[in-house]
Amino acid sequence: MRAAATAQDDLLAQARRLATEITGLRRAIHAEPELGLQTPRTRDKIRLALGHLPIRWREGPSTTGLVGVLQGRAPNSRSGRRVLLRGDMDALPMPEDTGLPFASTIPNTMHACGHDAHVAMLAGAAELLAARADRWSGEVLLMFQPGEEGWHGARFMLDDGLLGSAEAGTLPDAAFALHVMPNAPHGLVGGRAGALLASADMLDITVQGAGGHASMPHQTRDPVPVACEIVTALQTLVTRQFDAHDPVVVTIARIEAGTTHNVIADVARLKGTMRSLSPAHRARLHEAVTRLATGIAAAHDMAAEVTITNGFPVTLCDPRAVDLGERVTRDLLGAEAFRRLDAPIMGAEDFAYVLDLVPGAMFFLGFAPQGEDWTQCCGIHSPRMMLDESVMPRGAALLAGLAERFLAEGF
């Protein structure tokens, strides 16, 4: 993957000349998806694709994550700014049903969240920045991160010191990421200041009863109706105890109890997710759910054990970074290419760990085919999700443009 730069070159035009290489890398990664914190095949594909560039690589002990460092060479410039660009690498544990010629060759594993495209666009941005290094000064950190799908890969890479240290003052000065949206208009970039995505915590509730014959429930303590009461009460809790302008979501996605049609179970188990958009509501929700579940169980002479496993924090975008992203998008892609989102999305992202320490922003990039009804396209995490690959050069150009503009101007 090589990009030749001249003084007259337009960044988007350069990116489009890299389309074949960007697409090829995306397809190679898509065909061999990997899960979790260890993605060695994907790591090796990245290093091979970018091996000809003057990148200093960092790796840590906890994951197969990579951080590449590019140094600017602009003459007569002393910018000491450092900017991070991130692309995540891992796939999802689910089958693929696209019929694509480069579909997953790994059973029950698919790049259904677009991380293959994230990597390819970041690799394209690296090519562009390296080819234009005499136009900018400072450092660009290329963060290729595994373990986004619930594995806290960004946190591990931070803990390994791959992004620098807050104590030593060596963290980047800004951080940016793109996320594909296959069911959003072709090439449209979306973002917002403040909360972009929610925190996400796992909820497990175990109701302990005393089982017996289903024909004699009065001789048992049946945990099933108690579990059902807890589910219903959780929905009332959300709508009556929390301000709708700072929303929370509690979803019970699985209920387990019993073995057959005429035996009352000893135990009922509930599994779900809790989402919130502010640290205050997150903490309050934890307390309220625990109080509600244990109280309902106690009212029926039973016990409930509540376990909450903290997931990703709220993804908070710095207003200055969003403003910069809007300017870069409009300059590169046109006046209509950027849209401010009216409300956050209740999904979650572990880029939030980076944005907790470094001012920056994540933006969404629409990947619906040009001219098609984007509302009918399959969204992320669908086994039939597909991307219009012609959008990827735009993403590579946007990432490179964000880096160049920040290094030149700051916020």
Specify the CATH number for the domain of residue 263: 3.30.70.360
> Over pLDDT 90: what percentage of the chain?
91
Claim to verify: residue 183 and residue 112 sit in the same structural domain? yes
Q: What average pLDDT does the segment 98-126 reach?
A: 97
Q: What is the CATH number of the domain that holds 178?
A: 3.40.630.10
Q: Of 270, 267, 228, 273, nearest to 248 (Cα)? A: 273
Claim to verify: residue 139 and residue 123 sit in the same structural domain? yes
- Residue 5 forms part of a structural domain: no
The parent domain of residue 372 ranges over 11-197+314-409
- Quote the pLDDT of residue 80: 84
Claim to verify: residue 331 and residue 252 sit in the same structural domain? no
**Which tens digits make up the pLDDT trace of 357-382?**
999 999 999 999 988 888 888 889 99
pLDDT class for 168, splitting at 50, 70, 90? confident
- Residue 106 forms part of a structural domain: yes
pLDDT exceeds cutoff 70 at 83: yes
Instruction: Please say whether the beta carbons of 363 and 190 come within 8 A.
Output: yes
Final residue before a domain boundary, out of 282, 309, 336: 309
- Residue 2 forms part of a structural domain: no
> Over pLDDT 70: what percentage of the chain?
97
> What is the number of alpha carbons within 13 Å of residue 6 lying toward its C-beta?
3
Q: Of 311, 366, 298, 357, nearest to 338 (Cα)? A: 366
**DSSP β-bridge partners for residue 140:** 70, 83
Claim to verify: residue 188 and residue 238 sit in the same structural domain? no
The total number of structural domains that make up the chain = 2
Q: Of 117, 10, 119, nearest to 64 (Cα)? A: 119
**Which tens digits make up the pLDDT trace of 316-349?**
999 999 999 999 999 999 999 999 999 999 999 9
Claim to verify: residue 100 and residue 80 sit in the same structural domain? yes
Claim to verify: residue 74 and residue 151 sit in the same structural domain? yes
Claim to verify: residue 318 and residue 363 sit in the same structural domain? yes
Claim to verify: residue 136 and residue 218 sit in the same structural domain? no
DSSP 166-209: TTTT-S-SEEEEEEEETTS-TT-EEE-SEEEE-EEEEEEEEEE-
Tokens of 121: 């666009």
Claim to verify: residue 131 and residue 234 sit in the same structural domain? no
- Residue 90 forms part of a structural domain: yes
- Residue 109 forms part of a structural domain: yes
Claim to verify: residue 115 and residue 223 sit in the same structural domain? no
- Residue 130 forms part of a structural domain: yes
**Which tens digits make up the pLDDT trace of 14-54?**
999 999 999 999 999 999 999 999 999 999 999 999 999 99
Rg for the chain, CA atoms, rounded: 24
- Quote the pLDDT of residue 372: 84
pLDDT exceeds cutoff 50 at 283: yes
- Residue 3 forms part of a structural domain: no
Final residue before a domain boundary, out of 252, 282, 309: 309
- Quote the pLDDT of residue 9: 55
Tokens of 367: 């990947």
Claim to verify: residue 146 and residue 29 sit in the same structural domain? yes
- Quote the pLDDT of residue 76: 67
pLDDT exceeds cutoff 90 at 2: no
Q: Give Cα separations from 286 to 116, 198, 236, 239, 348 (angstroms).
A: 34, 15, 15, 15, 17
Final residue before a domain boundary, out of 277, 293, 309: 309
Q: What global pTM score does this model have?
A: 0.91
What's the CA gap between 107 and 252, in Å, rounded? 28
- Quote the pLDDT of residue 1: 58
Element (H, E) at 138: none
- Residue 1 forms part of a structural domain: no
Claim to verify: residue 137 and residue 56 sit in the same structural domain? yes
